[in-house]
């Protein structure tokens, strides 16, 4: 994923929306919400665990989306690099062509011995 100015603006808008939502939420709850000062410890723990589980679910969803996007970008990049390497590598004088020529030369003469002419003299 390329970082462009549009990405930066998008991140800034999300940041401002989060801060705005937090400010609006705090104003609404303090001015118009029920002020229950007699909340029990069990209710408080229940609320905190519910909030934490919701945040963890949202975080997992966000990480999954980023993982899918990242995997697609990595896969696309690898595919392009391999295609470029293979298309350029088989041209004369390039790395892959020289490697194949070397293996062909080795395999052509592997196991071939010279003729021993000393037996002909006897």
CA distances from 18 to 15, 44, 53, 87 (A): 5, 24, 19, 48
Q: Which of 82, 62, 59, 58 is nearest to 70 (CA)?
A: 62
* Structure tokens given for 65: 């989306």
The list of the chain residues with pLDDT below 50 reads none
CA-based radius of gyration for the chain: 34
Give the whole-angstrom CA distance, residue 49 versus residue 72: 35
Give the whole-angstrom CA distance, residue 92 versus residue 83: 17
Indicate the pTM of the whole model: 0.39
pLDDT computed for residue 112 by the predictor: 65
pLDDT computed for residue 118 by the predictor: 65
pLDDT computed for residue 60 by the predictor: 92
């Amino acid at each position: 994923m390329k970082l462009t100015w549009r990405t930066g603006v998008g991140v800034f808008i999300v940041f401002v929306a989060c801060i705005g939502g937090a400010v609006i939420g705090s104003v609404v709850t303090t001015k118009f919400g029920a002020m229950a000062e007699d909340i029990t410890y069990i209710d408080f723990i229940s609320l905190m665990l519910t909030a934490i589980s919701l945040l963890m679910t949202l975080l997992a969803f966000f990480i999954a989306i980023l993982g899918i996007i990242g995997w697609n970008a990595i896969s696309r990049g690898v595919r392009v690099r391999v295609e470029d390497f293979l298309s350029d590598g088989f041209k004369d004088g390039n790395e892959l062509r020289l490697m194949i020529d070397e293996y062909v030369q080795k395999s052509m003469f592997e196991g071939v011995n010279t003729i021993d002419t000393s037996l002909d003299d006897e």
